[in-house]
Amino acid sequence: MTTENLSLSEHFVSLSQHLTTPEEQKDLQAFNTLGFPARADYFCQPESVDECRRALDWASEHGQPVFALGDGSNLILAADISGLTLQMNNQHRYYQPQPDGSVLLGVGAGVVWHDLVMETVKKGLYGLENLALIPGRVGAAPVQNIGAYGTELADLLESVETVRVCDRQLSVLTRDECQFGYRDSIFKSDAYQQGADYQSIITGLVLRLQTKAEPRLGYGDLAAQLEGQEITPLAIAEAVCSIRRSKLPDPAEVGNAGSFFKNPIISNAQAEALKERYPEMPLYPAGTGLKKLAAGWLIQQCGFKGTRRGAVGIYPKQALVLVHYGNGRACELLELADEVVTEVRRRFQVELEREPQLIS
């Protein structure tokens, strides 16, 4: 094995020799940050790749479909989940310094993402600091190529380790094989989600971090937040946390799934036409011939910011975040989301796309 192909499975061997029978009729209300009631027919939390394989063996033997659950922070549970719901809970980390001064980090899918970010920045490593306070587990990060403040997971990722559901074979995908895009990856495809031949469970990542300063401060108000401070990975992460807390609700206090809609990407021609009508509209480069709009700005211009419809609403401090105040149903939130989509389409001729995965 070379350091360039660091694999979690080659470093960490399961000490457990058995997997207990999955729990039946598991209450998932505490396992989705929107807090909607739902149940899983069967539920388990493997703590290693070996345990994951045994759980998949159990599902195969009992004829049960498999659903991979992260921390439920990008999920709308509008129905119960049939079959086996599997939530990886492997907590391993492996830091491997490289000759060029970078550090390869192998990490288990069950690690809480923000905990990992803070662990790395306290070690003085650059790379993850702009991604602080994003909810969820490590295994969910590549699915939607999480990003914030000018950084995406794809910028740091070396490989993704998976176990294929159909035959329990271990695979390692390179960054290019993950087919990353804006909030997108191969793992969102039907084949990887539920295809008989390719459905896979993400069990770990390998990330490349840096010991030398490579700060990205040009997005939003991050530079202003850090003015007068020594620029370190920890300082950047703490600034990101401060900004996010000022704008976004804590899921422990108000149910939410973070950004509910993707920022639309449109042609330069359409962007220029909109800019003529709305000179204050924020625009961002998004590749050759393309511009990215701020979905939150579009929603706010339509007057939805702070709207409440019974048990659901739109967060008063950030129009991009739909919230569940409690005792509501997913269908109520989806009705409000449809209302937002329809009005943005009518006013701007722009189509909003939902970000969280819907289980219905």
The CATH code of the domain that includes 60 is 3.30.43.10
Q: Tell me how far apart the alpha carbons of residues 73 and 113 are, in angstroms, rounded to a whole number.
A: 11
pLDDT on residue 265:
96
Residue 199's H or E segment, with its range, is none
Sign of CA dihedral 264, 109, 325, 245: negative
Residue 294: which of 276, 316, 273, 320 has the closest Cα? 320
**pTM reported for the whole predicted model:** 0.90
Going by pLDDT thresholds of 50, 70 and 90, the confidence category of residue 296 is: very high
Q: Tell me how far apart the alpha carbons of residues 106 and 349 are, in angstroms, rounded to a whole number.
A: 44
pLDDT at 211 over 70: yes
pLDDT on residue 236:
97
Q: Which domain holds residue 314?
A: 249-359
Q: Tokens representing 292?
A: 């990215």
Residue 261: which of 320, 331, 212, 213 has the closest Cα? 320
Give how far the C-alpha of residue 83 lies from the chain's centroid of Cα atoms, to the nearest Å. 23
pLDDT at 19 over 80: no
Residue 221: which of 152, 169, 282, 269 has the closest Cα? 282
Verify that 294 and 330 share a domain, yes or no: yes
Verify that 299 and 348 share a domain, yes or no: yes
Share of the chain above pLDDT 70, in %: 94
Structural domains in the chain (count): 3
Verify that 235 and 263 share a domain, yes or no: no
Verify that 101 and 222 share a domain, yes or no: yes
Verify that 97 and 219 share a domain, yes or no: yes
The DSSP secondary-structure symbol of 22 reads P
pLDDT at 56 over 60: yes
Going by pLDDT thresholds of 50, 70 and 90, the confidence category of residue 218 is: confident
pLDDT at 5 over 70: no
Task: Report the catalytic residues.
Answer: 183, 259, 355
Q: How large is the average pLDDT for residues 239-245? A: 96
Verify that 350 and 283 share a domain, yes or no: yes
